Amino acid sequence: MAHDSTATDPVPSPDQVDEITEAWRRERPATPVESIQVITRITRLAKLFADDRRRTLGQLGIDSATLDLLATLRRAGPPYQLSPGQLAQRALVSAGAVSQRVARAQRSGLVARQPAGGDGRGVLVTLTAAGHALVERTVDELLRHEETLLAPLTAPQRKQLAATLRALLTQLSAARSEPPAGH
């Protein structure tokens, strides 16, 4: 039998977002304030998650931009190499950001640049053994930690939340002609 979270889970007590919403509803009864319930919570969660990720990555000895670069190369599969243009497209950052990230990671021995093709004009960025080891260790630790952040939610709640957020992100991205963000 499927778990019906609405029937068995206690209703969370009102929070500060509820108070803000009710204050606006009281002060401006004609103004639609329902978006506060969702957007303010998403904004607050995004900040909490970003701060937590920054702290966790700091403890693991890597920054978010470097992890993004290494993870993008790792997800590409063997031989773990992409052109700077492919990196920019897959990481959803500018070519300038890729250039800075690659230079910093190359100085740390995490990636190598090599010519692409025979004409010498193109470049491929390749994950080194040190970069591969770092991304493997970091992803394991980070995802294990982030799993604990979601522990209060049941598996069905997580699945529903992911689907709802995907739908909203897809619609908003399409309305702005942007690709949906993802890692």
pLDDT of 89-134, one tens digit each? 999 899 999 999 999 999 999 999 999 877 767 899 999 999 999 9
Helix (H, G, I), strand (E, B) or coil at 5: helix
Above 80 in pLDDT, residue 156? yes
How many other β-carbons are positioned within 10 Å of the β-carbon of residue 36?
17
The answer to whether residue 132 sits within a structural domain is: yes
- Structure confidence at residue 54 (pLDDT): 96
pLDDT of 47-88, one tens digit each? 999 999 999 999 999 999 999 999 999 999 999 999 999 999
The answer to whether residue 131 sits within a structural domain is: yes
Question: pTM to 2 decimals?
Answer: 0.78
Helix (H, G, I), strand (E, B) or coil at 170: helix
The answer to whether residue 125 sits within a structural domain is: yes
The answer to whether residue 30 sits within a structural domain is: no
CATH code: domain of residue 131: 1.10.10.10
The answer to whether residue 10 sits within a structural domain is: no
- Structure confidence at residue 67 (pLDDT): 97
Domains in the chain, number:
1
The answer to whether residue 156 sits within a structural domain is: no
The answer to whether residue 112 sits within a structural domain is: yes
- Could you tell me the residue range of the domain that residue 75 belongs to? 62-145
